[in-house]
């Protein structure tokens, strides 16, 4: 299957005093995992729920699997799987009962046991939802989304608030779905999640797309692949930006809460130069770290803000 699974153009959604989505274009290709990345309140959930046919946009067009909301609702719903950001499933029903309930809504799909195996909840089939852990609940929500064997899977912050092990389990489920040819649209504020799962990413801020491409392309757009961060001893001021930019391979300099962040092309050329420069000025470091540039650095580069308020 080729072509587009989801297309939207000029999406706008206003609430009383906020514009949640401010003219957003998007195209998700069949068989890819597409990520919407953005800080709190960026408009990710609003966008996804418009695409899921749950919110009517004020302006703009949406096409899902070549069909349109309002005329083909039932047909679209048969073929998409949805996990909402904040659904709490019925407490007093068992895992198996809930998945069976959701299965009954669809004409075709997986057997209940099959889907419980996919999300590794087979052992918990007789357990009430109220007695599941956070990670297990989230996998149950995904089981309900997967039970119809959908063409498109919508995941709204599937791993927010989960421990690292639960996150990896969920990533495996998503990767397996993608490997069998499924299309995924997911939102997240975790960089590593987007870099690991997504073929392409749109960075969203204030209801608009501010960057768009594969994670590699986006990081490459920084023009430099590595990041050096250092902090100086109490009372010492870092060298002026121009002096640092003059060092070999340094692309960008940012000072933030006592730390200085440099974006550099090649670590082995820039790092010794930075250390030598600081020593020449008699400045002492209390901290020094380096990492590969991430989408977090990109977001910082684009907006001057961090994606998540730590």
Write out the residues near another protein by the rule CB under 8 A. Answer: 52-55, 74, 77-78, 80, 82, 84, 86-90, 92-93, 97, 100-106, 128, 144, 148
For the bound state, the minimum distance from the C-beta of residue 44 to Mg ion, rounded and expressed in Å, comes to 5
Restricting to residues 152-191, which ones interact with ligand ATP according to CB under 6 A?
189
**By CB under 6 A, residue 43 contacts ligand ATP:** yes
For the bound state, the minimum distance from the C-beta of residue 177 to another protein, rounded and expressed in Å, comes to 17
Between CA 115 and CA 102 the distance in angstroms is 12
Which strand ranges, in their side-by-side order, compose the sheet holding 285-292?
Answer: 250-256, 259-264, 226-232, 285-292
Restricting to residues 207-226, which ones interact with ligand ATP according to CB under 6 A?
none
Q: Which stretch binds Mg ion (CB under 5 A): 18-26, 43-51, 134-142, 236-244?
A: 43-51
Q: Which is nearer to ligand ATP, 18 or 231 (CB)?
A: 18
Residue 109, CB-side half-sphere exposure with 13 Å CA sphere: 26
Residues that bind ligand ATP (rule: CB under 6 A) add up to a total of 13
With CB under 5 A as the contact rule, the residue among 6, 21, 45, 118 that binds Mg ion is 45
Composition of the chain by helix, strand, coil, percent to 5: 35, 30, 35
Between CA 122 and CA 102 the distance in angstroms is 17
From the list another protein, Mg ion, ligand ATP, none, partner contacted by residue 58 (C-beta under 5 to 8 A by kind): none
For the bound state, the minimum distance from the C-beta of residue 55 to Mg ion, rounded and expressed in Å, comes to 12
Between CA 278 and CA 285 the distance in angstroms is 8
Between CA 258 and CA 184 the distance in angstroms is 40
Beta bridge mates, 278? none
Q: CB under 8 Å to 134, separation ≥6 — which residues?
A: 161, 162, 166
**Full DSSP string of 231-270:** EE-TTPPPPPHHHHHTSTTEEEEEEETTEEEEEES-HHHH
Q: Which is nearer to ligand ATP, 46 or 159 (CB)?
A: 46
Q: Which is nearer to ligand ATP, 20 or 232 (CB)?
A: 20
Interface residues toward ligand ATP, by CB under 6 A: 15, 18, 20, 38, 40-46, 85, 189
């Amino acid at each position: 299957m080729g072509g587009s699974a989801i297309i939207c153009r000029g999406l706008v959604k206003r609430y009383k005093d906020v514009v949640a989505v401010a003219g957003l274009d998007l195209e998700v290709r069949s068989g890819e995992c597409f990520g919407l990345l953005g800080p709190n309140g960026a408009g990710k959930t609003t966008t996804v729920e418009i695409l899921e046919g749950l919110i009517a946009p004020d302006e703009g067009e949406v096409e899902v699997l070549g069909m349109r909301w309002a005329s083909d609702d039932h047909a679209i719903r048969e073929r998409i799987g949805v996990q909402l950001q904040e659904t709490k499933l019925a407490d007093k029903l068992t895992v198996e009962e809930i998945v069976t309930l959701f299965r009954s809504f669809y004409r075709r799909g997986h057997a209940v046991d099959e889907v419980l195996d996919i999300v590794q909840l087979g052992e918990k089939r007789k357990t009430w939802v109220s007695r599941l852990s956070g990670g297990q609940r989230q996998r149950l929500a995904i089981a309900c989304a997967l039970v119809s064997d959908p063409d498109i899977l919508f995941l709204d912050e599937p791993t927010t608030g989960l421990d690292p092990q639960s996150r990896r389990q969920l990533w495996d489920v998503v990767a397996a779905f993608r490997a069998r040819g499924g299309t995924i649209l997911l939102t997240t504020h975790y960089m590593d999640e987007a870099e690991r799962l997504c073929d392409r990413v749109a960075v969203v801020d204030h209801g608009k797309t501010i960057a768009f491409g594969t994670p590699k392309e986006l990081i490459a757009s920084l023009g430099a692949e590595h990041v050096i961060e250092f902090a100086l001893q109490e009372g010492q001021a870092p060298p002026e930006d121009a002096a640092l930019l003059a060092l070999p391979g340094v692309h960008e300099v940012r000072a933030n809460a006592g730390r200085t962040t440099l974006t550099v092309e090649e670590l082995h050329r820039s790092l010794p130069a930075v250390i030598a420069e600081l020593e020449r000025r008699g400045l002492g470091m209390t901290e020094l770290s380096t990492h590969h540039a991430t989408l977090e650095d990109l977001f910082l580069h684009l907006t001057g803000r961090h994606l998540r308020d730590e």
